[in-house]
Amino acid sequence: MIERVRAAVATERLRTELRTFPLPEVGPDEGLLRVEACGLCGTDWEYYTRQRGAHLGPMILGHEIVGTILAVGEEARRRWKVAPGDRVAVEEFLPCGECAFCRTGRPALCDATDSRSTRPFLRYGATPVEVAPALWGGFSEVLYLHPRALVHRVPDGLSPDLATLFVPLSNGIRWVRRDGGLRPGSTVVVIGPGAHGLGCVAAAVEAGAAQVFAVGRERSPRLEAAQALGAVPLEADREDVVGAVRDATQGRMADLVVDLAPSGAEGLATTLALAGKGAVVLFAATKHGQLAADAFSEPIVRKGLVVKGVRGRDFEAVDEALAVLASGRLPLQRLRTHRFGLDEVDQALRVQGEKVDPSAIHVAVVR
């Protein structure tokens, strides 16, 4: 058993440093995870640049976490149904388990784990190291498993770095299938082919959509990955996206539109134009700029659209995502483009956030 744990700590804006922490003792309802891989998300970049969490102090980032159980208390062993050596995925949420949001399968909205809550919260990848026992992030050799941790067994044969895709894929499953109510034979448009957008593409294909369109600004490895997953790629900078979907659907347009692009009024107008009558429109990214009320209320009312904001996932969606990843039915390995070591976290974050490498889709820190 190791005694000291190395971790990459985000100490200030655009700066990380390797620090060591003592290995915590494990109580009966706790555990420790030996981290094998941790994927990067846009939220990590927001914390790293201090667009979010500037008041929280130094922290270990990383919340798309996969590893093997290092130690586990007896109560936790029974609850999580794991033993030392088992490979698991750990969600970022540490929900209370008792509020209305937890009871209805929406732990991301629970105040106990909401990093934007005005109340005290706990969340992997967003909790300061000053909160004992410090090991609250995936960019570390070991992660502390809190009694409220959401732990999932990883199927045999699924590699740790590929398994980190459980977050974007499970979000896609939750949004497309549950929130979007996708039915087989439907037409789906996904705007923004980042990792989460590609998770939505994969979820739509798996759910039996007849047509899936992926909209990006220009031809890119991300659009090519969307095409490999089964989507029709559309380049917004070079073609009439609305016209292309209209032609392909004989004017019916999409039954479900998932918008993951942080665009303003013009992008919002395109999103609503892509939706057919009675369609569902999901927004997974915050819009910016001045939005005229009539620009979006009129198509919503006239088409009878259902418009929802989506965030996070439910527990079952993670297990479904891990099963899809292990099945090999879709070429999801194309999303797994970059790997870095623990001493290269700063470089990994910059590749993810500054988009210095156009081939990057999903970046992971691995051991």
Set out the domains of the chain in order of their start, with CATH numbers: 4-153+331-366 (3.90.180.10), 170-309 (3.40.50.720)
Q: What is the pLDDT of residue 262?
A: 84
Per-residue pLDDT at 296 = 76
Is pTM beyond 0.85 here?
Answer: yes
Low-confidence ranges of the chain (pLDDT < 70): 1, 289-295
pLDDT of residue 75: 98
pLDDT at 293: 66
Q: Is the dihedral of CA 252, 196, 333, 336 positive or negative?
A: positive
pLDDT value at residue 1: 66
Residue 292 is predicted with a pLDDT of 61
pLDDT recorded at residue 231: 98
Residue 266: what pLDDT?
Answer: 77
